[in-house]
Amino acid sequence: MIWRFALRLKDVREIDDTLADALFESGCDDGSPWSSEGVAFVGFDREADSLEAAIKSAVGDIRRAGCEVDKVEIDHEELASWLPTAG
C-alpha cells in the first residue's frame, strides 16, 4: 500500500539544492521536499506494509541525510480514507 504523509524537519528553515540532493541520495527519492515560512518538510508517497513501517523508513532516510524529524503530519482526509467504514 502507498502511504501519504509529511515529515517536518527539525531546525531546518529552508530546503536548498544541497539538502534536496542529500535527501534524494539517502533514499527519499519518493519524497518531495519543500519549505515555507521558515519551516521545511518532505512529503512522501511511500510504499510499505503499514503506516508505521512507512514512517519509520522515511525517518531513517532523513537521518541518513543528516537531518532530524520534528513532527509527522497526516492530512485528516487522507487518514480517514485508511480507516474501515461501518457497513
Which is more confidently placed, 78 or 24?
Answer: 24
- List of domains in the chain: 2-77 (3.30.70.100)
As a whole number of angstroms, the distance between CA 32 and CA 75 comes to: 16
- Per-residue pLDDT, 75: 77
27-60 residue pLDDT tens:
999 999 999 999 999 999 999 999 999 999 999 9
In 3D space, the residue among 30, 17, 34 whose CA is nearest the CA of residue 61 turns out to be 30
pTM (2 decimals)? 0.85
- Per-residue pLDDT, 10: 98
- Per-residue pLDDT, 47: 96
Cα angle, residue 65 at apex, residues 37 and 77 outer, rounded to 5°: 50
Judge whether residue 83 has pLDDT over 80.
no
- Per-residue pLDDT, 39: 97
